Amino acid sequence: MRNLITYTFCILLFHTSISFAEETSRKVAYLVVCDDETVIKTLSEKIDERMKQAKFEVTENLPQLKLIVYAQHDINDRVNANGWSFAIAHVTNYPTYFVAAKLLKSESAEAKAVGPVISNMLQYDGFLTYINVAHVDKFDEKTIAILLDNIVGEFAKRVNIQ
């Protein structure tokens, strides 16, 4: 039974990756978390620009992928009080969308029984697929541009867009 479940999951992931490669636009969202509203606004605007340049469809309505950036000013740092730390996460709900699409086509009792569970899963951000951290010495335009080019570039690369 365990082998059957593992095999089914592998097939599902394989089909998901094929479907991803065939699409031209991905529904994505991003979230910037920080104590400073000005930093949230600045990072959000610049991430939005880069997402659109990467040909992502930015939406808050059932995104398939999400980029989460947590920014924290290095307060009371003895070495560099101007430094900023960033935690970056990628999450995907695409496998859930894939399963939901397959279940919608099925009229079986098993599919209908799983429907509410899948529907509930669609309300969450999804599965963590990537996590990383970054640090910059200062929060200025040039440094943040380089940082966000790398963050959004890595996000795009991991979903085979570039």
d(CA 97, CA 50): 25
Quickly list DSSP for 42-68.
HHHHHHHHHHHHTT-EE-SSS-SEEEE
Q: Please identify which residue in the block is written with the tokens 């924290």.
A: 72
* Residue 2: pLDDT band with limits 50, 70, 90: very low
* Residue extents of the structural domains in the chain: 2-158
Question: Model's pTM, two decimal places?
Answer: 0.75
d(CA 26, CA 66): 10
User: What integer pLDDT is reported at residue 13 of this predicted model?
Assistant: 45
d(CA 149, CA 117): 37
User: What integer pLDDT is reported at residue 51 of this predicted model?
Assistant: 95
pLDDT tens string 131-151: 999 999 999 999 999 999 999
For residue 143, which phi and psi values (nearest 5 degrees)? -65, -45
Give SS3 for 77.
coil
Measured over the CA atoms of residue 107, residue 6, residue 160 and residue 85, the dihedral's sign is: positive
Task: Judge whether residue 105 has pLDDT over 60.
Answer: yes
